[in-house]
Structure 1
Amino acid sequence: MADSFNFELVSPERLLLSATATEVVLPGTDGEMTVMAHHAPTMTTIKPGVVTVQTAEGKTERYVVFGGFADILPSGCTLLAESAVAVGDIDREDLDRRLQNAREDHADAKNNNDKQKALEYLDQLTTLQGAILPA
């Protein structure tokens, strides 16, 4: 049996999950990463994506996050999300609004740096939409 650790997923509105986990997959800005017990201390930014939590009880829980950062220690992991919701509770209209806003931000960008950031965010949201919503 794998060792477990404490995991918390927090959004500005509330604590979404506080659980004992054996594995958590996070959408880090530099790529997906798997956190397990005794992980080296790390802090990473989070891009829009799906967080998958394997609990010590054997359940799998999935949450959509829209950015934030994760603080990882050997004894636990805390993900502070800009916004988060359980995958089953995702609101298609909210995701569509976020995509439209990202398109507008890209179109309104005044310089190459802002245009590139807006395009990256738009790409992340588009990928997220394809991963969690049926066609």
Structure 2
Amino acid sequence: MADTMQFDLVSPERRLASLQAREVRIPGTDGDLTAMPGHAPLITTLRPGVLRIIKADGSSDDYAVTGGFAEISSAGTTLLAEEALHVSEVTPEIVKRFVERASEALRAAKEAGHHDLIDDAAKLMADMVAMGDHIGISPAP
């Protein structure tokens, strides 16, 4: 088994990372997981959270992701994010915008009476708040 794997992080706007990584800690919707070289093939959806990349030299890099998909294969790991920012780019205003969008989705689900979507929207909003808390930025009131 190799010590590193190819990792690519892509959002609709840009490629954020393309590098050799020892491991990638992924916020999956069914639970957090760590992709490493030799990992079994897997495709999973992402929840809002912090993605941590452990690089070949042992240093780490963190990105805030709002959702998307991750594909783990023998060739490496590719993450297709709905929206992704390096944590150094995340501001209280950005976190507030994430939370407001999730809050609007919750309000719309409640107004439309879509009871099956209300829990999903509430979870999305909680994940957005938790992501901000995780990186030390709570949404401004």
Query: In structure 2, what is the equivalent of residue 120 of structure 1?
Result: 123
CA distance in 2, matches of 1:14, 1:108: 30
User: Are 1:64 and 2:64 counterparts?
Assistant: yes
Comparing 124-133 and 12-21, the one that deviates more: 124-133
Deviation of 1:133 after TM superposition, in Å, equals 2.1
Q: Is the 8 A contact 1:38 1:75 kept in 2?
A: no
Q: TM-score, normalised by structure 2?
A: 0.90
Runs (4+) off by over 3 Å: none
Q: Cα deviation per residue 1:20-53 (whole Å; 9 max; x = unaligned)?
A: 0011100000111001001111000011101100
Deviation of 1:134 after TM superposition, in Å, equals 4.4
What one-letter code is carried by the residue in structure 1 that aligns with 2:93?
Answer: E
Give the unaligned 5+ runs of structure 2: none
What one-letter code is carried by the residue in structure 1 that aligns with 2:125?
Answer: L
CA distance in 2, matches of 1:44, 1:96: 26
Query: In structure 2, what is the equivalent of residue 46 of structure 1?
Result: 46
CA distance in 1, matches of 2:68, 2:130: 17
Give the unaligned 5+ runs of structure 1: none
Q: TM-score, normalised by structure 1?
A: 0.93
Percent identical among aligned pairs is 40
CA distance in 2, matches of 1:118, 1:87: 24
SS in 2 for 1:3: coil
Counterparts in 2 of 1:134 and 1:92: CA distance versus 1, 3 Å: closer
Q: Is the 8 A contact 2:91 2:137 kept in 1?
A: no
Q: How many residues are paired up?
A: 134
C-alpha RMSD of matched pairs (Å): 1.3
Query: In structure 2, what is the equivalent of residue 77 of structure 1?
Result: 77
